[in-house]
Every structure is written in structure tokens, then in C-alpha cells.
């Protein structure tokens, strides 16, 4: 995370550095990102950069924190349409609300998605702690769903987490990539056609986790023996 010297800067200067970092990671990803370009585009010296951050990873971790704070602020006024949603209905609401957030903050979302999902660094050691938080939250959601009878109790929790995480990341990446091609990304995300596509994608995941082994038929059980 940034050093205290970064937070001592005027807000305008901090924002300029943050914006330069967002553009750099969005355009080049993590591996090809250049501290020299971030320095040039934010109009600071390279020496100053190292007074504010340890390295490139430190800058990106700052962007993750900024994104987290923006999400917390954005979701303050967001509530599910009902208090009686089951796990999958709530997950669907979360995904759709997340898509709207991405539409409102496309550039930083693009930067983070490119590094974590497109380059696959989300699954490595470099950002392991950040990834683990997501896994823990999904595991808790699945366990609660099993306890309520919403998920097949024979489902392996770790496998279910992998399915939900992979599915949601794939949907997020697809919607973001397609949305950035539109003139009005928010309008496109809220359109009936896009909402129906998200529903269909999520239904495939939900159907697989809800379905009990007995519903798959005898042939499936024979294959497992």
C-alpha cells in the first residue's frame, strides 16, 4: 500500500497519480506496465514515485483499495428487491448490481480486470490474499445455501466455490468487454437483452448446483463407481 508521504499529498496530486496508474494498467496490464510512463503521465519524478510506493505491485494494490472504497460507497444505497431472496437470487442480484457498478466506473474496472482476470494474476501468489477473501465469502454462501436446502448437500463446497467464482468472473469479463464497445455502457447493461443474457448464464451455474445426484439418473452414478 502507499506510504504516508503519498497520503500527505494534495488530493489533486494523489488523483493524478492514481489516474495515471489506472490508465497504465488498463492499457498495458501488469507485466508490461511501466513505472516510467506512470511517472511521466502524472508529472512527478521517479524519485518521488519511490517516496510514495515500493514498486509496481504497491501501486496496483492501491488501485484495488480505491476500487473497494468506490464499491462500498456505491452499494451504500443499493438494496436487494426483497429480503426473502434465496442464495441464487441474491447472487444474481449481486452480479447485476456489480455490472452496473462496472458501467459507472469502467476504466478502473478495466484496469483491475485486465491484470487479475485476463493475465490470470488473480490466481497466483502475487495477489493471493485478495483472491482468498473472495473464496472465503463464496464458501460461506455455499455452506449457508446447503444448510437451507438450496444446494445439493452432496456438492463439494470447494468445487461449488470454483464454479461460482469462475462463472461470475467469466460473466464480468464478457459484459465489461462488450459494454466498452457501446456508446452508453450503463444503458446497454440495463437493457432487457443484456439482462436476459446474464440470467441465462447464471441459470446454467445455478441448475448444476441445485440438481441432486438422483436427478442425473442411473448412468451418472455408474460412471462414478
- Inside any domain, residue 144: yes
**What are 210's three cell numbers?**
441445485
100 and 24, same domain (yes or no) = no
Q: What is the extent of the structural domain holding 48? A: 4-64
User: What CATH number corresponds to the domain at position 58?
Assistant: 1.10.10.60
Which residue, among 168, 159, 153, has the nearest Cα to 139 in the 3D structure?
159
In percent, the amount of the chain with pLDDT more than 70 equals: 93
Q: What is the pLDDT of residue 206?
A: 82
> Residue 217: what pLDDT?
52
pLDDT score at 83: 80
Q: For cell 464458501, name the residue.
A: 139
Instruction: Report the C-alpha gap between 165 and 91 in whole angstroms.
Output: 11
Q: Is there a single domain that holds both residue 113 and residue 33?
A: no
Mean pLDDT over all residues of the chain? 86
Would 70 be classed as within a structural domain?
no
The low-confidence residues of the chain, meaning pLDDT below 70, are 211-225
195 shares a domain with 92:
yes
Q: Closest Cα to residue 176, out of 166, 185, 165? A: 185
pLDDT tens digits, one per residue of 105-129:
999 999 998 888 878 787 777 777 8
- Hey, what's the torsion of the CAs at 169, 173, 175, 179, to 10 degrees? 150
37 and 117 part of one domain: no
The last residue of one of the domains, among 64, 93, 116, is: 64
If one counts the domains in the chain, the total is: 2
Q: How many CA atoms lie within 13 A of 205 on its CB side?
A: 25
Pull the grid cell for residue 29.
496490464
Residues 185, 179 contacting (CB under 8 angstroms): yes
What's the confidence (pLDDT) of residue 223? 44
- Asked if 116 and 219 sit in the same domain, the reply is yes
Amino acid at each position: 500500500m502507499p506510504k504516508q508521504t503519498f497520503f500527505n499529498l494534495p488530493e489533486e496530486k494523489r488523483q493524478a497519480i492514481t489516474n495515471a496508474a489506472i490508465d497504465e494498467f488498463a492499457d498495458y496490464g501488469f507485466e508490461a506496465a511501466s513505472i516510467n510512463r506512470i511517472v511521466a503521465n502524472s508529472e512527478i519524478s521517479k524519485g518521488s514515485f519511490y517516496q510514495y510506493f515500493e514498486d509496481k505491485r504497491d501501486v496496483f494494490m492501491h488501485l484495488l483499495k480505491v476500487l473497494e472504497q468506490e464499491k462500498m460507497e456505491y452499494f451504500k444505497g443499493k438494496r436487494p428487491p426483497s429480503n426473502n431472496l434465496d442464495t441464487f437470487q441474491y447472487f444474481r442480484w449481486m452480479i447485476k448490481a456489480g455490472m452496473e457498478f462496472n458501467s459507472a466506473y469502467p476504466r478502473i474496472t478495466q484496469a483491475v480486470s485486465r491484470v487479475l482476470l485476463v493475465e490470470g494474476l488473480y490466481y497466483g501468489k502475487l495477489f493471493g490474499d485478495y483472491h482468498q477473501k473472495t473464496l472465503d465469502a463464496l464458501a460461506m454462501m455455499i455452506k449457508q445455501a446447503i444448510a437451507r436446502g438450496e444446494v445439493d448437500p452432496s456438492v463439494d463446497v470447494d468445487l461449488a466455490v470454483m464454479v461460482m467464482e469462475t462463472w461470475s468472473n467469466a460473466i464480468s469479463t464478457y459484459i465489461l468487454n462488450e459494454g466498452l464497445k457501446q456508446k452508453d455502457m450503463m444503458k446497454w447493461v440495463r437493457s432487457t437483452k443484456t439482462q436476459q443474457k446474464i440470467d441465462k448464464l447464471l441459470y446454467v451455474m445455478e441448475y448444476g448446483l441445485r440438481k441432486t445426484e438422483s436427478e442425473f439418473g442411473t448412468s451418472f452414478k455408474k460412471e462414478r463407481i
